């Protein structure tokens, strides 16, 4: 019997334990975190009722490497030891591409930030993620 596509997605999208999520590479966490963060920002910006071109320009202010690097530095004192360790793992991950429009150090910290978001998402810590997102939009609004 074939599974429905929804069931396949639902089974793939199960909440992981912190141990299971830690077994993923930091770049895998960043891959998911990048998508989750971008979706959050785009959804947040819809409230501004701007043309799509303007929405895109506004989104870039939040999602570019320099902005994410600045954000993770601003949030540093608010992060738990576990969260700091995840950021550090992401920051120190060996990447096989070089940033096109960013300084290497900003790119590395942005990867750490995205790793954190991916970790929080995959472990089902939406409340914590929303707490951080609220701080981000209040700071950069």
Residues serving a catalytic function are 34
CA atoms within 13 A on the CB side of 28: 7
Say how far residue 113 (Cα) sits from the centre of its chain.
6
Q: What are the structure tokens assigned to 81, written together? A: 């030891």
Specify the DSSP class assigned to residue 94.
-
Distance CA 31, CA 11 (A): 19
Closest CA to 72 of 35, 27, 124, 37: 37
């Amino acid at each position: 019997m074939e599974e429905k596509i929804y069931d396949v997605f639902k089974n793939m999208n199960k909440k992981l334990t912190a141990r299971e999520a830690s077994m993923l590479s930091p770049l895998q966490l960043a891959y998911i975190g990048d998508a989750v963060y971008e979706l959050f920002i785009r959804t947040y910006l819809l409230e501004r009722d701007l043309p799509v071109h303007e929405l895109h320009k506004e989104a870039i202010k939040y999602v570019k490497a320099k902005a994410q690097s600045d954000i993770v530095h601003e949030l540093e004192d608010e992060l738990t030891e576990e969260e700091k360790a995840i950021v550090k793992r992401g920051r120190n991950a060996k990447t096989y591409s070089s940033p096109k429009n960013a300084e290497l150090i900003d790119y590395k910290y942005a990867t750490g930030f995205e790793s954190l978001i991916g970790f929080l998402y995959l472990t089902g810590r939406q409340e914590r993620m929303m707490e951080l997102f609220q701080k981000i939009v209040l700071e950069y609004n």
